[in-house]
Amino acid sequence: MAIEFKNVSYVYQPGTPFANNALTDLNFKIQPNSYTALIGHTGSGKSTILQLLDGLIKPTTGQIIFDDHVVDNKTSQKILAKVRQHVGIVFQFPESQLFEQTVLKDVMFGPLNFGKNPQEAQELAQKALRLVNLPEEHWQKSPFDLSGGQMRRVAIAGVLAIEPQVLILDEPTAGLDPVGRKEMMAMFAELHATKNLTIILVTHQMEDAAEYADDVLVMANGQLVKHATPMEVFADITWLQAQQLDVPHTVLFKNKLSAQGFDLSANIINVEQLALALQRSLKKGGNHE
């Protein structure tokens, strides 16, 4: 599913002393089956974009075009509900949304709400739980008896069970240990590859954006300041730092190596590319002595 933002602005609590301009005149398009990273410092408007993407709020001005639905200020709740069915959103610390008596029931909750009968819902739930690799022995347990990482898997399964075409991830690995983080990100990459999902990832981990995304949106103060490939975004270190963003370790390391005389091409942002380039450079028996 393609999503297009046309001149979208959003104001919180308009017409009160608490009015707050969160987004100003956003224009961008998210291609079907793409993996988009949304980055920007805290308070730059990322969360507001996420809520707009899932039809949880309506733009104050402008339009958001989801394939065949157009959402603007006057769109009815019914159409928003339809949009929501195609867009799954995994909020930050999604384990705080669990509430059912068993894991399976909690995952069935979404499909049931979107009109599936209990039989179908259960099948979808089982499929989703397998996708997130939660062992079957936990399915009849209370979600509150699981570990934090397992709870997060259940919550993510709950979103996947509605079979969304677009999956939005808001810092899905926050608070996980390194292994958990890697597993989680690999799982999303696989879903992206095998299920033709469009993924939108909000992250402060520049390494993740460099590794997985094929499109990057950079936000600052409610405005879109750059929309480009990871290669273009992460190559410019001074610009990134001016936006209060981190630079991926790989880019920093590559620059250190280049300073030492290694002959490396400029187009390196992830570990694999760096390793290959190093290999090539060493084979050439370069001038790094």
Partner 1 sequence: MMSNMIIGRYVPGNSIIHRLDPRAKLILSVSFIILIFLANNWLGYLILGLFTLLAVASTKISLAIYLKGLKPVLWLIVFTIVLQLFFSPSGHVYWAFGPFTVTNTGIINAVYVFLRFLFIILMSTVLTLTTQPLALADALEYLMKPLLKIKFPVYELSLMLAIALRFVPTLMDETVKVMNAQRARGVDFANGSIVKRSKAIVPILIPLFVGAIQRAIDLGDAMEARGYQGGENRTKFRVLAWQRRDSLAVLVFMCVLVILVGTRFLM
Residues engaged in binding partner 1 (CB under 8 A): 12-13, 16-18, 51, 54, 56, 77, 81, 84-85, 87-89, 91, 94, 96-99, 109-110, 112-114, 144, 158-159, 162
Nearest-approach distance from CB 56 to partner 1, in angstroms? 5
Nearer to partner 1, 66 or 109 (CB): 109
In this structure, what token pair is assigned to residue 210? 């460099």
Residue 239, burial from CB neighbour count under 10 angstroms (0-12, 13-18, 19+): middle
Given the structure tokens 């209370």, which residue do they identify? 142
Query: Least Å distance between CB 234 and partner 1?
Result: 30
Smallest separation, CB 117 to partner 1 (Å): 14
Nearest distance from C-beta of residue 250 to partner 1, angstroms: 34
In the complex with partner 1, the residue whose CB is nearer, 167 or 216, is 167
In this complex, which beta carbon is closest to partner 1, that of residue 62 or of residue 110? Answer: 110
Least Å distance, CB 50 to partner 1, is 9
Angle (CA) 176-104-125 rounded to 5° is 90
Judged by beta carbon, residue 109 or residue 188, the one nearer partner 1 is: 109
Nearer to partner 1, 145 or 232 (CB): 145
User: Which stretches of 109-233 are assigned E, i.e. beta strand?
Assistant: 166-170, 198-202, 215-220, 223-228
Task: Compute the least distance from the CB of residue 58 to partner 1, in Å.
Answer: 13
Q: 111 with 159: CB under 8 angstroms?
A: no
Q: Which is nearer to partner 1, 126 or 255 (CB)?
A: 126
Task: Tell the burial category of 184 from Cβ atoms under 10 Å away from its Cβ (0-12, 13-18, 19+).
Answer: buried
The 3-state DSSP class for residue 152 equals helix
Q: How far apart are the C-alpha atoms of 177 and 149, rounded to whole Å?
A: 9
How far is 35 from 201, CA to CA, in rounded Å? 8
Residue 186 to residue 107: CA distance in whole angstroms:
21
> How many CA atoms, within 13 angstroms, populate the side-chain half-sphere of residue 276?
8
